[in-house]
A and B are shown apart, each in its own frame.
Chain A
Amino acid sequence: MSVVLALDGLVKSFGSLLVTDNVTLDLKPGECHALIGPNGAGKTTLINLVSGTLAPDRGKVVLADADISRLTPPQRALAGLGRTFQITTVIRSFSVLENVALAAQAKDGSSFRFFGTARNEDALNSRARAALETIGLGHRAAVRSADLSHGEHRLLELAMAIVGAPKALLLDEPMAGLGKGESAALTETLKTLKTQIPILLVEHDMEAVFKLADRISVLAYGKVIATGTPEAVRADEDARAAYLGTKLP
């Protein structure tokens, strides 16, 4: 299998606004494929089309050679898609550990179990703990997640996305709002992580993108206007034009 995730001719419009314009791209094992583009380019929309939160007008999504275009978001999650949100979405009243254990529970047999205390399930808790350690949030396991800092919330999202051992990860601006040190640390974490789980990364932080990405696609007005290695994209005139005023490093 040379391609883990393939988006094939995806089209989406909101009314008369074409937000995803025939997007075709793929994700290979061990790679980080970064998706960059100015605000409103349609990056989040594309992630939503892949994770199933939005239905495309046309095109398909293929995960590990299986067409998942008709699956619901939970079915796609179970098929092996993990994602994070641009705006943090965790269960704030749950502890950090329980958030991740909830995600682990989704992939661990039936959850139509009405008795027995879920919080005391060692198998789920130790898997959750392992994911938290991987992400570097192990020391905060017992904290109520509402009490986490913004940066820690981002990490918690990531732990929830990886605990089920997905086949591919969709990360929507994981560095947004992080301090310098925090994003450097997260960059290192993702660098290790991508060797196990390939990552489709939406990110505005160009320093992180150029450190992490094996390939970069540039999205402008819903269209992929350039795809290639970081070097190739850096040299690309169109890509520079799309980021008018932004300096590509």
Chain B
Amino acid sequence: MTDRSVTQDRAPQGGATPARRFGDAGLLAGLAILLVLALMPQITAVAGGSYVLNLVMKAMILAIAAISLDLLIGYSGLVSFGHAAFLGLGSYVTGIALTEGIYGALPILGLVLLICGGFALVTGAISLRTSGVYFIMITLAFGQMLFFALSSLSSYGGDDGLTLWDTPDLFGAYVFQTGSGLFYSTLVVLALTWLAVGRIAGSRFGRVLRAGKESPLRVGVVGFDLYRFRLAAYVIAGLFAGVAGFLMACHTEFINPSTASWQNSGTLIVMVILGGMGTRNGALLGALFVVLIEEALSRYTVDWKLIFGPMLVLIALFAKGGLANLLARVGGGR
């Protein structure tokens, strides 16, 4: 059967499916969002001030975690309810390292990647033996285990968390110190995450994940051991979220077990689903939207969740495909 592939002329390339055209529009939309974010220091200097800039930064950090979670939920069909564990773990590794006298950003990031990767590998290896609701429950359980473990670190603040008096430095430069240095570092990490997840989704590896989301049976019978692909995706997502945790520790100058709480994991899921699954722009928009709306609503009333809840329901009902799809339709992307 090998001769056929040789004699085959490949004149028509049937690659330009609707999904692909949409992908190009998505690329532009994503770059536009990132560009607006890059101008936030100037924009907030005119209106909003540092308070708003701080909020935007918080949203950007959460967006890194949300985009990485989308690799699992949106592209792989794996609803992880424990993704905030990696945020918490990344921030604690950072905080503990700083407290223990390690100040170099590179060694700290190395530790963050090593520990978050290790945690993802172990918990993922077990969680991925299950599927569906059981997967949701077991990732939730691992997340809670980590939450309680962090709460019990009495020498690092226990339940109350720990204020950090130092910031990591990069060869003597304080690019992770709160202010414009941290803002642009966060922006760079966010852009890299956004790019990487897009590349991964379109790669051979991502194609197996996407196919496995629809039919694990088919993917197996064609010759892929889906478990290994999903485990790798779980570790990759954990690494990105770990780095987000590092940035969060730098941003808040504080570490707290509640970063790893199940509520936080739930918020990340809401960001992904609200923004639109399987489109990294969705997770990005979702994170910005949730953080800003939460802030805006909570200014008017302490019962802001009473408003936010129905809003979620409305978006889920009427904006099929989430905010990213809404944006694409408004922009004539389809």
Task: Give the contact-size bracket for chain B.
Answer: 35 or more
Contact between A83 and B221, CB atoms less than 8 A apart: yes
Q: List B200-215 residues whose CB lies under 8 Å from chain A.
A: 200, 202-208, 210-211, 214-215
Interface size for A (C-beta < 8 A) is 53
Closest B residue, CB atoms, query A127: B5
Could you tell me the distance between the alpha carbons of A47 and B20 in the complex, rounded to whole angstroms?
37
Interface: A37 (CB within 8 A): no
Interface: A93 (CB within 8 A): yes
Contact between B17 and A95, CB atoms less than 8 A apart: yes
Which of B5, B206, B214, B217 sits near A93, CB closer than 8 Å? Answer: B214
Could you tell me the distance between the alpha carbons of A107 and B219 in the complex, rounded to whole angstroms?
12
Question: What's the minimum C-beta distance from B267 to chain A, rounded to whole angstroms?
Answer: 28
Residues 98-130 of chain A, each 1 if its beta carbon lies under 8 Å from chain B, else 0: 100011011100011111111111110111011
Which of A83, A94, A133 sits near B211, CB closer than 8 Å? Answer: A94
Could you tell me the distance between the alpha carbons of A52 and B10 in the complex, rounded to whole angstroms?
35
Question: What's the minimum C-beta distance from B12 to chain A, rounded to whole angstroms?
Answer: 8
Complex interface: chain A residues within 8 A of B19 (CB)? 93, 95
Which of B4, B199, B229 sits near A130, CB closer than 8 Å? Answer: B4
Complex interface: chain B residues within 8 A of A142 (CB)? 14-17
Residue among A92, A117, A125, A144 with max Cβ neighbours from chain B (10 Å): A117
Residues 115-156 of chain A, each 1 if its beta carbon lies under 8 Å from chain B, else 0: 111111111011101100110000001101000000000000
Asked if A130 meets B206 with Cβ closer than 8 Å, knowing A51-B221, A125-B13, A142-B17, the reply is no
Asked if A102 meets B4 with Cβ closer than 8 Å, knowing A91-B215, A119-B202, the reply is no
Residue among B12, B14, B202, B220 with max Cβ neighbours from chain A (10 Å): B14
Complex interface: chain B residues within 8 A of A96 (CB)? 14
Contact between B205 and A113, CB atoms less than 8 A apart: yes
Contact between B218 and A120, CB atoms less than 8 A apart: no
Complex interface: chain B residues within 8 A of A122 (CB)? 10
Contact between A106 and B20, CB atoms less than 8 A apart: no
Complex interface: chain B residues within 8 A of A111 (CB)? 204-205, 207-208, 224, 229
Could you tell me the distance between the alpha carbons of A16 and B229 in the complex, rounded to whole angstroms?
37
Complex interface: chain A residues within 8 A of B294 (CB)? none
Interface: B18 (CB within 8 A): yes
Contact between B224 and A90, CB atoms less than 8 A apart: no
Question: What's the minimum C-beta distance from A248 to chain B, rounded to whole angstroms?
Answer: 31
Complex interface: chain A residues within 8 A of B229 (CB)? 111-112
Could you tell me the distance between the alpha carbons of A120 and B23 in the complex, rounded to whole angstroms?
14
The stretch that binds B, out of A62-70, A72-80, A206-214, A227-235, is A72-80
Interface: B222 (CB within 8 A): yes
Interface: B2 (CB within 8 A): yes
Could you tell me the distance between the alpha carbons of A95 and B211 in the complex, rounded to whole angstroms?
11
Contact between B221 and A73, CB atoms less than 8 A apart: yes
Closest B residue, CB atoms, query A72: B225
Contact between A73 and B214, CB atoms less than 8 A apart: no
Which of B203, B208, B218 sits near A115, CB closer than 8 Å? Answer: B203
Contact between A53 and B223, CB atoms less than 8 A apart: no
Could you tell me the distance between the alpha carbons of A91 and B222 in the complex, rounded to whole angstroms?
12
Complex interface: chain B residues within 8 A of A133 (CB)? 4, 8
Contact between A74 and B223, CB atoms less than 8 A apart: yes
Question: What's the minimum C-beta distance from A47 to chain B, rounded to whole angstroms?
Answer: 11
Could you tell me the distance between the alpha carbons of A119 and B211 in the complex, rounded to whole angstroms?
13
Interface: A5 (CB within 8 A): no
Question: What's the minimum C-beta distance from A85 to chain B, rounded to whole angstroms?
Answer: 8
Could you tell me the distance between the alpha carbons of A73 and B207 in the complex, rounded to whole angstroms?
19
Contact between B8 and A129, CB atoms less than 8 A apart: yes
Contact between A113 and B218, CB atoms less than 8 A apart: no
16 contacts between A and B (CB under 8 A): A53-B221, A77-B221, A77-B223, A85-B217, A89-B215, A89-B217, A91-B214, A102-B208, A105-B204, A111-B207, A114-B206, A119-B202, A119-B207, A123-B5, A125-B10, A130-B8
List the 3 shortest-distance A-B pairs measured between CB atoms, nearest first.
A142-B14, A106-B223, A77-B223
**Besides the known contacts A118-B203, A164-B223, A165-B1, 8 further A-B residue pairs in the complex with CB atoms under 8 A apart:** A74-B224, A75-B225, A89-B218, A103-B222, A106-B223, A125-B13, A126-B5, A126-B10
